[in-house]
Amino acid sequence: MTRSRLRRLLAAGAITAVGAIVLAGCGSGFSDPGASGSAASGDLTSSSDPLKLLIGSSGEAETTAVNAAVAAWSKQSGIQATVSVASDLPQELSQGFAAGSPPDLFYLAPEALAGYAGNGSLKAYGDMLGNKDDFYPSLVQNFTYQDQFYCAPKDFSTLQLVINKGLWDAAGLTDADLPTTWDQLATVAQKLTANGVVGLAFGAEYQRVGAFMAQAGGGLVSDDGKTATADSTGNVDALTYVKTHLAAGTFAYAKDVGAGWGGEAFGKGLAAMTIEGNWITGAMSADFPTVQYVVAPLPAGPSGQGTLQFTNCWGMAADSPNQKAALDLVQYLTSADQVLAFSKAFGPMPPVRSAAAQWTSENPALASFLKAADYAKSVPVNNGITAVIKDFNAQLESLKTGDPAQILKTAQTNVQAVVG
């Protein structure tokens, strides 16, 4: 991708941020926060105004659970709060800021943090949380911008290896064959590839292939987010490994076996294994209830264990007139009891370590997903990285016949443009 094309892509993604910048200078229409404390000074605003929440829901179960939790907090606190479900969360959140009436609290993706924090739209409240030390450190890092912990992670997911038990047993494989290295993964994938079934299928995207990069010690940016590392030797090794087995026919992209994503390929019996997050459990229960499966840790690569994690936080508007109540609500929503209730209702993993033992006890078959919190890497959160990953994904689609080093060289140039 040329620099000019990259700039166009970044500009398109920056429109929402520009709107927020303009509104930051025009005022929000809220009551004067100075009456009860300046956000700039680190104090929280306080008023009798009700709270507005905006979420992006995975379905009826999540919507019901969030509404019930917020209603319980409102009854306990005496403060009114309403939940709205967005059909297009990034767009509706942007429109709220542009109109000067953002919600007080909202789901915020890591890749959106830098843009909104950089233009002053967000309140950095993370260090004010009574339970701030309970969150997994890697999740805190996800929502730290310029050394400020901005918002509380609401939940998270990691990628692991999901195996069709029936196909595994039919191939004569046992627990002793669960792969712990890349070579072992290649061996079992070959044994499972038969009768129109591919051994391993996953999405043609960095959000899946990136797990192999992490296992080789690679990634698109350095851990501190300040250096482009896309063309590292580890990344070349990872893409070369994936390319080799795509070409051999023992690995496949989900779209190449006629599926929309890895979970669908797995559920339909088109693949014996897939790489997915713990959200696959809901899809399996709803769409493929007869398929028996097990979850195992992704095999270690040349640099050891590695995977990717995905999360969102409870963003808080800098212009909210009732940040004190919003902070109290966030602490309620991220308490161990409440995140465990959310997990039972719609499947996410709790972001706080105090809930780990109970969650693992209640979900022993999914324990690998939570254990990965100790070594999972996050998708980069640099401002503008979304456009870079989109282009990288387009390049990865041709990995089977492409040149890994050249694909990564292009990615390196693009990553440097946003990191620098």
**pLDDT by residue (tens digit) across 358-417?**
999 999 999 999 999 999 999 998 888 989 999 999 999 999 999 999 999 999 999 999
Q: What's the pLDDT tens digit per position in 22-54?
A: 222 222 222 222 233 333 335 899 999 999 999
The answer to whether residues 170 and 229 belong to one domain is yes
**What are 119's two structure tokens?**
């233009």
Is residue 291 included in any domain, yes or no? yes
The answer to whether residues 147 and 262 belong to one domain is no
The answer to whether residues 371 and 403 belong to one domain is no
Q: What's the pLDDT tens digit per position in 256-289?
A: 999 999 999 999 999 999 999 998 988 898 899 9
The answer to whether residues 134 and 85 belong to one domain is yes
Partnered with residue 277 across adjacent β-strands are 159
pTM of the model: 0.84
Please tell me the total count of domains within the chain: 2
Query: In whole angstroms, how far apart are CA 133 and each of 137, 139, 244, 373?
Result: 8, 11, 43, 15
Strands (E) in 120-257, as ranges, are 144-145, 148-149, 152-164, 198-202, 251-253
The answer to whether residues 146 and 24 belong to one domain is yes
Sign (positive/negative) of CA torsion 102, 106, 109, 113? Answer: positive
- Contact in structure between 334 and 69 (CB atoms under 8 Å): no
Q: If you write DSSP's letter for every residue of 335-357 in order, what string do you get?
A: SHHHHHHHHHHH-PBPSBGGGHH
Torsion, Cα 169 175 176 182, to 10 degrees, reads 90
Is residue 40 included in any domain, yes or no? yes
- Contact in structure between 307 and 160 (CB atoms under 8 Å): yes
Average pLDDT over residues 306-327: 97
Average pLDDT over residues 86-106: 96
The answer to whether residues 134 and 18 belong to one domain is yes
The answer to whether residues 287 and 398 belong to one domain is yes
pLDDT at position 286: 86
The answer to whether residues 173 and 112 belong to one domain is no
- Contact in structure between 416 and 388 (CB atoms under 8 Å): no
Please tell me the total number of residues recorded for the chain in this structure. 420
Sign (positive/negative) of CA torsion 83, 84, 86, 92? Answer: negative
Domain CATH number, residue 175: 3.40.190.10
Tell me: pLDDT of 160 over 50. yes
**What are 116's two structure tokens?**
């909104």
Query: In whole angstroms, how far apart are CA 221 and each of 129, 160, 246, 288?
Result: 29, 22, 25, 37
Give the residue, 220 or 283, on which the prediction is more confident. Answer: 220
The answer to whether residues 132 and 181 belong to one domain is no
Q: Where are the alpha helices (DSSP H) in 27-173?
A: 60-77, 89-98, 110-118, 137-142, 165-170
Alpha-carbon Rg of the chain, whole angstroms? 22
pLDDT exceeding 90 applies to what percent of the chain?
A: 82
Tell me: pLDDT of 201 over 90. yes
The answer to whether residues 149 and 282 belong to one domain is no
Is residue 1 included in any domain, yes or no? no
Query: In whole angstroms, how far apart are CA 231 and each of 100, 161, 226, 397?
Result: 42, 26, 15, 18
Which of helix, strand or coil describes residue 101? coil
Is residue 56 included in any domain, yes or no? yes
Is residue 145 included in any domain, yes or no? yes
In whole numbers, what is the pLDDT of the chain averaged over residues?
A: 89
Find the domain containing 199 and state its range. 158-309+383-419
Report the alpha-carbon distance of residue 207 to residue 186 in Å, rounded: 20
Q: Among all chains, which residue has been given the structure tokens 């297009």? A: 88
